[in-house]
Structure 1
Amino acid sequence: MTGVPSVLFVCVKNGGKSQIAAGYMRVIADGAVRVASAGTSPGSSVNALAAAVMLEQDIDISAAIPTQLTEQAMREAGRVVVLGSEAHVPSVPGVDIETWITDEPSARGIEGVERMRLVCADIEGRVRELAGRLTG
């Protein structure tokens, strides 16, 4: 897969936003980008509501397993996208890191499935833009 761009999506638990972003990138880039995700303090499973909302769009992230962020994974990807401000990712020489301060509808009193749909829509738009940059 020489020359194929790669991205590692990161959030704290690797159960929501980073899994959502990885799911979108796999579909949008359709194999043209290597995709991985990880968490700075991974949980035990994918957020059920995130999985349900993604499944509404025929993207199944329910079987994904939260993974610990490692420096090796960062180096292998070469590009790390941190979703939200809660995950703190170390600087690694040679690795491009960008942070997406994603929409948080709960700050506006929006909860539940409506909140998750808005979170997914925000992330999808950002992933589409990134896919365009990576695949030219």
Structure 2
Amino acid sequence: MNSPGDTMKTPPHVLFVCVKNGGKSQMAAGLMNNIAGDSVDVASGGTKPGTSLNQLSVDSLAELGIDISEGSPKPVTPADLEAADVVVTLGREAKVHAPDGTRLETWDTDEPSERGIDGIERMRLVRDDISERVKDLLSRLQS
């Protein structure tokens, strides 16, 4: 805990949420960790977590030098929601109730499969969309 007069600020805590916590929320967390470093405390979780990471999500971040391969899907807990300053849901399916005073954002992310784009090409478009949103969020957190 910081005492009055301390120049150190506690980093903001951001929780990224999707349904399975195997793709989009893991990508968002990896991207935020990459660009924000220690200036943001980052976590991710799923409302109905799957059993493994989406390999194309892992591969698309690896192309940028970001390794999330050791991650694993985990559930969003009440403690995760309570600890967060900002909760971001990715996609239309994940639903959470953020505590009073916690900012909740829903990112209706690009879904290239609706346009017939699949595979790694799809995941690169999803990654790039999430990356721009993460950069915007970081900018807002730092202002």
Q: Same fold (TM over 0.5)?
A: yes
Could you say which residue in structure 1 is the equivalent of 2:81? 74
Counterpart-to-counterpart distance in 2, 1:91 and 1:15: 21
1:106 positional shift: 0.5
Q: Does 2:14 correspond to 1:7?
A: yes
Corresponding residue to 1:95 among 99, 102, 117: 102
What amino acid maps onto 1:5 in structure 2?
P
Counterpart-to-counterpart distance in 2, 1:124 and 1:54: 10
1:14 positional shift: 0.3
Counterpart-to-counterpart distance in 1, 2:94 and 2:24: 11
Counterpart-to-counterpart distance in 1, 2:102 and 2:75: 17
Counterpart-to-counterpart distance in 2, 1:59 and 1:99: 24
Corresponding residue to 1:31 among 38, 56, 63: 38
Corresponding residue to 1:108 among 115, 121, 136: 115
1:95 positional shift: 1.7
Larger Rg: 2
What amino acid maps onto 2:110 in structure 1?
D
Q: Secondary structure at the match of 1:4?
A: coil
1:44 positional shift: 1.1
Q: Secondary structure at the match of 2:89?
A: strand
With normalisation by structure 1, the TM-score equals: 0.96
The alignment covers a number of residue pairs equal to 136
Counterpart-to-counterpart distance in 2, 1:66 and 1:94: 27
Counterpart-to-counterpart distance in 2, 1:85 and 1:126: 16
1:23 positional shift: 0.3
Q: Secondary structure at the match of 2:92?
A: coil
With normalisation by structure 2, the TM-score equals: 0.91
What amino acid maps onto 2:140 in structure 1?
R
Q: Does structure 2 conserve the Cα–Cα contact (< 8 Å) formed by 1:41 and 1:68?
A: yes
Could you say which residue in structure 1 is the equivalent of 2:90? 83
Q: Does structure 2 conserve the Cα–Cα contact (< 8 Å) formed by 1:38 and 1:68?
A: yes
1:70 positional shift: 1.2
Q: Structure 1, residues 39-89: CA drift from partner, whole Å, max 9, x if none?
A: 000011110111011101100111111110112101101210000001111
Structure 2, unmatched stretches of 5+, are 2-8
